[in-house]
Structure formats: C-alpha cells, structure tokens
Amino acid sequence: MTLTANLASRLAEVIGAHNVVSAPEELAAHAVDALVPQMIARPTSAEQVTEIVRFALSEKLAVQAFGSRSKCEMGMPPARYDIAIDMTHLREVAHYDAGDLTLSVDAGTPLRELATFLERHGQFLPLAVPCFESTTAGGAVASGIDSALRQQYGPVRDFLIGAEFVDGTGQQCRSGGRVVKNVTGYDFHKVLIGSLSTLGVITRVNFRTFPLPAASGACLAAFANWQQALTFRGAIAMKGLPLAGLEILGPSAAEILGAILQRTDANAAGLLPADEWCAYCSYEGNEPVVARIGAELKQSAKDAEARECISLQKSADEPLGGMLREAYEWLRWASPATVLHRIALPQLTPDVLGELEQFAISANLRSALLIRAAGVLYFAVFAETEGEAAWSALAEVVGKVNKLARANRGYSSILHAPAAVKTRVAAARIALPDAPLQQRLKQAFDPANVFAPGRIVGGI
Amino acid sequence: MPARRVSHYSGEVSPQLTPANASLIRELKRLLGPTNVLDQSEDLILYEYDGSVEKGRPDLVVFPHTTAEVSQIVKISNKYGLPVVGRGAGTGLSGGAVARSGGVMIVFARMNNILEIDIANRRAVVQPGVVNLDITRAVEHAGLYYAPDPSSSKSCTIGGNVAENSGGPHTLAYGVTANHIAALELVLPDGEIARIGTLHGDPAGYDMCGLFVGSEGTLALVTEITVKLSRAAEAVKTILAVFETIDDACEAVVEITAKGITPAACEMVDGWTLCVIEDYIHAGFPRDSGAVLLLEVEGPREAVEGQASAIDEVCARCRSREVRVAKDDRERDLLWKGRKNAFGAMGRLAPSNYVLDGVIPRSKLPQALNRIRELAKQYGFQIGNIFHAGDGNLHPLVLYDPRDQQQFEKAITVAENIIRMCVELGGALTGEHGVGMEKNELMPLLFSDADFALMRRVHDAYNPDSSLNPGKVFPLSKGCGEIRIRKVKESGARV
C-alpha cells in the first residue's frame, strides 16, 4: 500500500470509506494551481469536518475546503495541499424565520437552491455572485467575491450575521448569531469573508434576508469615451440615485460580452455597441420609484452626452444583467492566459484608467476594464499564448498595477491568473500593509498551518 | 520594578498606587505636560464610572493629543506594569471604559480633531475623541452625514463607538458602526503604531477592521478613524403610531417586518414610559396609550410615500388609535428628542435605573414583552420599555433604589432573567452596548469552551499580557455566570 493509499484508508476509518475519494481523475479535478491533493474528503456533517481537520493535524497534512470549486483559483498558490474537503454534502436549511428575515444554512447549500426556497416566501439573499448556478453559500462567503447587487445591499459583511466553522485546532466554533443586530463577542464571521478557508472551514452561515422588490427596471447607456461615462457615474452619486446594480464596461469588455450574448441570447444580442463605453444600471422599488429612477437616469445620461440610453425590457435585462453578474467568469476565460485584477481605489479618475490601459499596451497585451459597484475596478489583461514570455509580460503588468493602486491610496488583488504568473508575483514578496497583524490572526486561528497556507498575498 | 504586572487577568485587583508610581507620574507629566495628567483622587473619582452601573477607579488619567503620545503612554505604562484602559466620553453602558483593575486611563477627549474630509469620495478621517454628531455637523452642508446615531450622539465619541460597535435607532436600515468604518490607526499594547483597512473600505487580505471594530478596547487602542459618510435621503417621514395596548404595537412591528416594509427606524415606547417622557420633554406624546411606535421612512419621495401608506395600513389593521406624521422638522426633532432623552427622564422617578440591552428575533417580540411584564409583576418592579423594535433590540429599563439591598438584588435577578430569556428565544446578550464587565459572566450562555479558546488565542495574539482593558468580555469564573454587578454589590465595591 502506498503512503497516500494508507492515509486515505485511515481517513476512511474516521469518516467512512464512501466519504473518501482518491481516484486520480477526481484528484486532478480538485487541483489548485496545478497542485493535486492526495485525497478528497466528503463530510456529511460538521462533526465529520472536525474529524477531518483533526486527522490532518495528526498527520501534519494541509487541507483546503471547497464548495462547487468555481472560485478555487482565487488567491495565491498554496504552499501545501493534501486533502480537499468537499463541503457540498452539507446542504440543509438549519433555520429560517421568514417573519424575522433570518436564515441559517449549511455551507454547502447552493445559492440557486436558496434563491428558489426564499422566493416562495417573497424574499431573497442579495448574493448575486459569479457562477451563481453552482456556487455554495459557504463558498460565496469564503471567496468574498463581489456581488452584482452590492450597490444597494452592500458587501456580504453587511448581511452575514453569524457563522459556524472548524478552526485550526479541530474545534467547532461559532461567531455572531441569528439576530440582525448583535455585538456579543468578537466578530469572527467577518474575518472569514474572503479568507479562502485559510482561517477555518465554514460549516454554516447565517444571513439576514431581504424582501423581493415589488418592481425593477434597468437601462443601458452608451458613451463615446470614459470621461463621459465617469461623468454619468458621478451624476448618479451626486443625485444619490438608489441603484441596485451599476456596471460600466470599457469598449473591450463590451466587445467580449457582446460576442457572448450574440451567441447565447437573441434578446440581448446587439445590445452592446462596439467601441463605446456602456453603463448598465438596474434599480428596484415600487412602480413610481422605478419609473422615476429610469427617467432621471435618462436625463443624467443625456447631460453626460450619452449617444443613447435605452430602457431594457425584462427579456433583455435578464440575460444582460445575468452575464454582468458573471463578469469574473467571462473575463478570465477570454484568452488563453488572463490576469484579472480587482482594484479598489478611494477615487476613480480618468488618469488611472488611462494608465492601466497603457500598462497593457506597453506590454503588447490586450486588456479590458469593468467599473463595478462601489468603485471596484476589474482590469483584465490578456495574453494570446501561454508560455514564459506571456507569463513574464503579465507578471510585469501585475507589478505596475500594484504600484499604481498603492500610489493612489488603494489596493489591487488578483482574482485570476495562470499559476506561473502567480508564482512570479509571489516571488516578488508583495506584503500587505498590515501583514504582521494579519499573520497573527492566521496564527491564532490556525496555529499548525493546517489550512492550505500561502493563499493570501504575503504567504499567509 | 513593576508596581503590578497584569497577566491573563483572572480576578479583581484593587487599585492602589505604590511609591514606584511617583516616577511614572513624573514621566507622564514630562511627556504630556502637567495639565494632561490627573493623579489626585478627587479628580480620578470622576473617571471611575461610565454610563453603566459599574465602577472602578483608575490610578491615573491622561489626556494625549497625538498618536505618538498614546504610543509613549502605553510604553511607559508597560514599564511600570500598569494596565491601560481607553475611554471616550464615558457614555458606554456596559463598563467598557471603566478601569476595572485600576491602571492608566487614556481619555481621548482632547484628540478631537477632524483631520480630513473628502466630500467627493464620502470619507472623513477623524481622531477618536470627535463627538459622533460633530462628524455629521461638519459634512451636512454637502448633503452628507455619518449614519450610526446612538442616543448619546451629542456626547459620545467616535472612538468609543468603534470600540463598542455602537448602534442607534437608524442602524435598522444603515447598520451599526462596523458598516461605516473604512480604516483605523491603532496603538497596540506594546506601543507599536499600526494601520488596518483601506481608504476605499474593502479589506486587503483579512477583514481586520471587522475584527477590531467592536473588540471593546481589548485588542488595541484606536487613534485615528476613517469613516464612510452617507448621502442624506431625498425625503424623510417621521410617523407616530399610537396603540391602545403593547400587544397591538408588537403585532404591528412583526407585521411590518414580515411584510418587508423597511423603515429606517422603528422604535417602541410603552405607555407608562411615554408619560414619563412627556412630563419631561413635552413632545406631544399621548398620555393614555398602551404603546407608540416611532417610525421613520427615508429614500426617494415616491418610496417614502409608498412605505408610509403601507405602514399606515398595517397599523390600522393592528388596531392603532392614531397614525400621525410629523408636519415639519421641528415636530420631527421633538419626537426624536423625546425618544433620545428617555433615559434622562427616568432619573426623575427613581434614584437609579438599569438599562438592559438584549436582542431577540423580531418575530418573538410579543412573547418577549409578555415575559418582561410577568417578571415586572413577579418582582414588583416598574420596568419601562423603550427600544429599537425594528431590529429586536430590547432596552428594558428597571427602576430601583441601589441603597435598598433587597431591591437591588431583585433588580439584578430580573435583569438576568430578561437576558436569559433573550438567549432562550434565539437572541443574543447585547445588541449595541457591548459585553464589557456587565455581561462577561453570561458569555457561556452563548459560547462554548472551544469558542472561548479561539477568542482567547485571538486576544492574546494582540494583547498577550491583558495589559489593555483587562477583565472585559471574557468570563472570569467557570461555568454559566451571572450579571457581574451582583458580585460587586456583594463585595461592597459598588455604592
């Protein structure tokens, strides 16, 4: 018996043979940045998750928890990775109080299932994240990926009210609760957001839910240049128009998405004009509110010299809005080797946009820009081929983007990059400004480094 | 020679200055100037309590003006082995700013400058001693405001708000302090100065602000805060709904919540409390009602109209006697003045009052208020109810005379029963006041040994010697505890 087979059989003794997988093809499918685990554990309860973590601790193995694995390539390459924990078999709604608008679900519950469940009660969870059809509630939290509804409902930290998780000592812990207002104890559930499961394995998440809006609307405005598009964005902010979603696509992003819609949906085909900046706005409320916001957006677009601003019928809005939610997906797969940056700046200026585009041009690479809610910028850089030259060029752009973000008192992270590019970036040893404090947090949660280390920038 | 080494605080330490502290006082006076150090007992006595019923006298009180001074104070205190406690305006209600084991109290009142206002990006950088409402006053000319609005917003400081993750009536719609903080500058227990968070507000790496906001001064001192500013709503309507019974008012809150009507604030005041407030404020509240709801709806004009009429319908269905909309700003301000000064009004009726803070699921509101009524009857107390009904955040107010030992004991028993009820109904120990030294012994009602082990590891990662705000948040005794002030009374420390 090989060492790996021996380990797998011992884990099987702990959680049952049918819950441990070591078939090579399945292991390969669970690779993270080309690192293949030795086994996959499929727990069916939180107790089994603790057993797996304790087993890993005793064997000095590194674990990485996943939901649907749709965002497993976020983060830096793990330094070690032995056991993949597949959380998709924990998928029960543990608690739902429709009258209190609170929900507690197992981490592996798919968001699509939750949406269907909540819709029956006239409610929803504003977690409009990419790969929506497969993403799990725990995965959405652990990835911290942007929600397309953030403009109105805020990031997930604004409506995650509690969590249960297994920490790095193999203990089940909890934070927060099931009430909408609570300051009892340290807010550990907040640090789990975007932690990529490096602090603990999330087993359950508690949310505040929201009533489905009575009416909704959407419009799409086209601008000749970014100055006009940013003027439009500024006018929306100044007027305080309550938008549910706001996405501004640069011409390249519009072209990529336009081509996808052309292939996939007749109702949305041809919506996105070539060579223009497109602003998509969605809004909700009662009928009079929706009518008024639509009218005000049209006026603001006109004031900003939009070439056109059209109201979208539901048949066109659903595919277009749906695909904008999926921006992470279609941007990262738009070339053989893509780096997708997420840049958060206190202020978005035309200069910054110009410099970013210039970084790509000077490296002889294509790029695409997408300005998202709360001023978060997605900047994708595309290499047409894989290989050393492409990876070096991409890594060089990453370095420049980081510098630019910091010079503008902001921060850039990588949502997606080929493993070879990530390795180069990791070698540059970019440290977070508060890295020592973050390191202490990791050490407290996971003293033995059992949760795949290295995935947070700076080697945490 | 250290005067007192605090390590893993495990019990009361009686404040006592030793001769070694004479040189500490000299060092601090040299650093800050003599007017920024208090060491006389007649001065220190003013800083031995906060807005709660807790007491603990600091050995020294200091008033820094800069982050560098705070860092030096911490280093000097460490040298003498004295714990350090941060304090804003001292309006907290859980003993968070009480020097439980003596030591050096850093009062941030003189670090009260607004350092930077960025209207375009809706950010302000402020020192911790800035009064909550002063942030709004500084930006309201541009149509902006700082959203969290504790009842003490005219006096409480933003630093204290950050430590306690404070709420307020309008947090129903806009969230508590944590939702409005982008970045912090900290002084760690070893005197190191650090920054967490980003100017944008999204975390880089782990959400460190999410951890430090609400950590009740047990992980670091906050010396600079970047707050997010909100745009004032286009339209606001303040509604007073009057009910014959508390049950009807509760039913209205449950229905408003369940129907997905989202007021910006939804406060309940029972009929008895309302009379006390009216005698004090003369806000025009009815004197013969069972309860009122004070609701506020905000947003675009059309949304406000829609929400106001939906609330009107629900209240009518729940047998409201009257639904009144404030005619103008003056009337609106008066209604809110009545709400926000309620605790002060209570001072006219009893020598002391104990403001509780517990949270329940909103759907359990009728059960909770019934139980509070039963407990009041059982123990012979008048318990007022004035609270954030919209988010299930109860504030029962127990009037008692602390000089009467029996009454005092009973008041504490009632309080404990109410907090335990909150937990039994699926709620939490505190919605906005914090755990502090009031409820640390009740923490085991919600958290397991494993939870505490993790909390302790995180605490020790930043505050390994418990030199910062010792004796808070964590239970000191084994097993399910009790509200702390009982102990204090028994030990005779509390008057």
Residue B8, pLDDT > 60, answer no
Same-domain pairing of B118 and B227: yes
Geometric angle at alpha carbon B313, from B310 and B317, rounded to 5°: 140
Q: Considering only alpha carbons, which residue of chain B is nearest residue A215?
A: B303
Query: CA-to-CA distance for A5 and A38, rounded, in angstroms?
Result: 9
- Does residue B336 fall inside a structural domain? yes
Same-domain pairing of B27 and B100: yes
Same-domain pairing of A350 and A404: yes
In a 13 Å sphere around the CA of A386, the CA atoms on its Cβ side amount to 8
pLDDT tens, position by position, B138-152: 999 999 999 999 989
Q: Please identify, among A300, A325, A350, the residue that sits at the C-terminal boundary of a domain.
A: A325
Least confident span in B42-56, B189-203, B320-334? B42-56
Q: Considering only alpha carbons, which residue of chain A is nearest residue B187?
A: A437
Predicted structure pTM score: 0.95
Residue B488, pLDDT > 60, answer no
> In the prediction, which pLDDT does B461 show?
98
How many domains are contained in chain A? 3
Q: What percent of chain A has pLDDT over 70?
A: 99
Q: Considering only alpha carbons, which residue of chain A is nearest residue B202?
A: A344
pLDDT band at B17 (very low <50, low <70, confident <90, very high): low
pLDDT tens, position by position, A240-296: 889 999 999 999 999 999 999 999 988 888 999 889 999 999 999 999 999 999 999
> In the prediction, which pLDDT does B5 show?
36
pLDDT tens, position by position, A193-226: 999 999 999 999 999 999 999 999 999 999 999 9
* Other C-beta atoms lying within 10 Å of the C-beta of residue B152: 23
Least confident span in A194-208, A296-310, B191-205, B402-416? B402-416
> In the prediction, which pLDDT does B37 show?
97
Same-domain pairing of A370 and A349: yes
Query: CA-to-CA distance for A33 and A71, rounded, in angstroms?
Result: 12
Q: Please identify, among B272, B306, B341, the residue that sits at the C-terminal boundary of a domain.
A: B341
Geometric angle at alpha carbon A114, from A288 and B179, rounded to 5°: 65
pLDDT band at A7 (very low <50, low <70, confident <90, very high): confident
pLDDT tens, position by position, B447-459: 999 999 999 999 9
> In the prediction, which pLDDT does B320 show?
97
Read off the CATH number of the domain in which B188 is found.
Answer: 3.30.465.10
Least confident span in A235-244, B133-142, B463-472? A235-244
The answer to whether the CB atoms of B202 and A344 lie below 8 A apart is yes
DSSP string spanning B418-471? HHHHHHHTT-BS-SSS--TTTSGGGGGGT--HHHHHHHHHHHHHH-TT--BSTT
* Other C-beta atoms lying within 10 Å of the C-beta of residue B109: 16
Same-domain pairing of A224 and A276: yes
Spatial CA neighbour of A359 closest among A325, A395, A309: A395
Which residues 326-345 of A are in CB contact (within 8 Å) with B? 344-345
pLDDT averaged over every residue in chain B: 90
Q: Helices B329-340 and B271-281, interaxial angle, to 10°?
A: 120
> In the prediction, which pLDDT does B376 show?
94
- Does residue B72 fall inside a structural domain? yes
Same-domain pairing of B32 and B97: yes
Phi, psi at B472, each rounded to 5°: -115, 160
Read off the CATH number of the domain in which A389 is found.
Answer: 3.30.70.1130
DSSP code, position B232: P
* Other C-beta atoms lying within 10 Å of the C-beta of residue A349: 11
Same-domain pairing of B192 and B243: no
Query: CA-to-CA distance for A52 and B54, rounded, in angstroms?
Result: 45
Read off the CATH number of the domain in which A270 is found.
Answer: 3.30.70.3450
Which residues 300-319 of B are in CB contact (within 8 Å) with A? 300-303, 305-306
Which of A157, A182, A436 faces B359 most closely, judged by CB atoms? A182
How many domains are contained in chain B? 3
Residue B340, pLDDT > 90, answer no
Query: What is the extent of the structural domain holding A121?
Result: 1-212+430-460
In a 13 Å sphere around the CA of A15, the CA atoms on its Cβ side amount to 27
Same-domain pairing of A258 and A138: no
Q: Please identify, among A306, A325, A344, the residue that sits at the C-terminal boundary of a domain.
A: A325
Query: CA-to-CA distance for B387 and B267, rounded, in angstroms?
Result: 6
Same-domain pairing of A26 and A142: yes
Residue A430, pLDDT > 80, answer no
Same-domain pairing of A261 and A386: no
B434 touching A, CB under 8 A? yes
Interface test with B, best of A118, A172, A181, A231 (most B CBs within 10 A): A181
Read off the CATH number of the domain in which B72 is found.
Answer: 3.30.43.10
- Does residue B158 fall inside a structural domain? yes
ipTM computed for the complex: 0.96
Residue labelled with tokens 């911290």: A144
Residue A403, pLDDT > 80, answer yes
> In the prediction, which pLDDT does A427 show?
74
CB B315 within 8 A of CB B241: yes
Residue A4, pLDDT > 80, answer no
Query: CA-to-CA distance for B165 and B197, rounded, in angstroms?
Result: 16
Same-domain pairing of A237 and A359: no
Structural element, H or E, at residue A84: strand A83-86
Query: CA-to-CA distance for A412 and B176, rounded, in angstroms?
Result: 27
Q: Considering only alpha carbons, which residue of chain A is nearest residue B358?
A: A182
- Going by their DSSP bridges, the two strands A337-344 and A411-416 should be labelled as antiparallel
> In the prediction, which pLDDT does B219 show?
98
Same-domain pairing of A173 and A287: no
- Does residue B128 fall inside a structural domain? yes
Please report, for residues A47, B237, B239, B315, B339, the alpha-carbon distance to residue B332 in angstroms, rounded to integers and kept in the order given.
Answer: 53, 8, 9, 19, 11
Same-domain pairing of B224 and B248: no
Q: Considering only alpha carbons, which residue of chain B is nearest residue A296?
A: B300
Same-domain pairing of A101 and A200: yes
DSSP code, position B316: H
> In the prediction, which pLDDT does A250 show?
97
Same-domain pairing of B222 and B124: yes
Same-domain pairing of B81 and B143: no
Read off the CATH number of the domain in which A36 is found.
Answer: 3.30.465.10
Same-domain pairing of B196 and B300: no
> In the prediction, which pLDDT does B490 show?
39
Mean per-residue pLDDT for A24-53?
Answer: 96
The answer to whether the CB atoms of B306 and A413 lie below 8 A apart is no
Q: Residue A332: helix, strand or coil by DSSP?
A: helix
Read off the CATH number of the domain in which B298 is found.
Answer: 3.30.70.3450
Contacts of A141 (CB under 8 A, 6+ apart): A107, A156, A160, A163, A192, A193, A202, A205
Same-domain pairing of B208 and B168: yes
> In the prediction, which pLDDT does B403 show?
86
B2 touching A, CB under 8 A? no
Query: How many Å lie between the alpha carbon of A176 and the closest alpha carbon of chain B?
Result: 8
Residue B18, pLDDT > 70, answer no
Same-domain pairing of B181 and B249: no
Same-domain pairing of B118 and B215: yes
Structure tokens at B489: 């009374």
pLDDT band at B482 (very low <50, low <70, confident <90, very high): low
- Going by their DSSP bridges, the two strands A83-86 and A63-66 should be labelled as parallel
Q: Please identify, among B231, B255, B275, the residue that sits at the C-terminal boundary of a domain.
A: B231
B93 touching A, CB under 8 A? no
pLDDT tens, position by position, B199-252: 999 999 999 999 999 999 999 999 999 999 999 999 999 999 999 999 999 999
Query: CA-to-CA distance for A98 and A6, rounded, in angstroms?
Result: 48
Mean per-residue pLDDT for A447-458?
Answer: 89
Interface test with A, best of B139, B200, B360 (most A CBs within 10 A): B200
Q: Please identify, among B78, B110, B142, the residue that sits at the C-terminal boundary of a domain.
A: B110
pLDDT tens, position by position, A331-351: 999 999 999 999 999 988 889
pLDDT tens, position by position, A126-136: 999 999 999 99
pLDDT band at A1 (very low <50, low <70, confident <90, very high): low
> In the prediction, which pLDDT does B14 show?
44
Same-domain pairing of A376 and A249: no
Rg (CA), chain B: 23
Query: How many Å lie between the alpha carbon of A279 and the closest alpha carbon of chain B?
Result: 20
Residue B4, pLDDT > 70, answer no
> In the prediction, which pLDDT does B493 show?
32
Query: CA-to-CA distance for B426 and B441, rounded, in angstroms?
Result: 19
> In the prediction, which pLDDT does B200 show?
93
Alpha helix (H) ranges present in B294-364? 301-317, 329-340, 342-346
Query: How many Å lie between the alpha carbon of B16 and the closest alpha carbon of chain A?
Result: 30
Contacts of B227 (CB under 8 A, 6+ apart): B123, B124, B125, B126, B135, B146, B158, B180, B181, B182
Q: Which residues pair with B201 in a beta bridge?
A: none
pLDDT tens, position by position, A136-189: 999 999 999 999 999 999 999 999 999 999 999 999 999 999 999 999 999 999
Query: What is the extent of the structural domain holding B216?
Result: 114-231
Same-domain pairing of A243 and A299: yes
Same-domain pairing of B337 and B254: yes
- Does residue B472 fall inside a structural domain? no
Same-domain pairing of A389 and A449: no
Residue type, B232: A
- Does residue B350 fall inside a structural domain? no
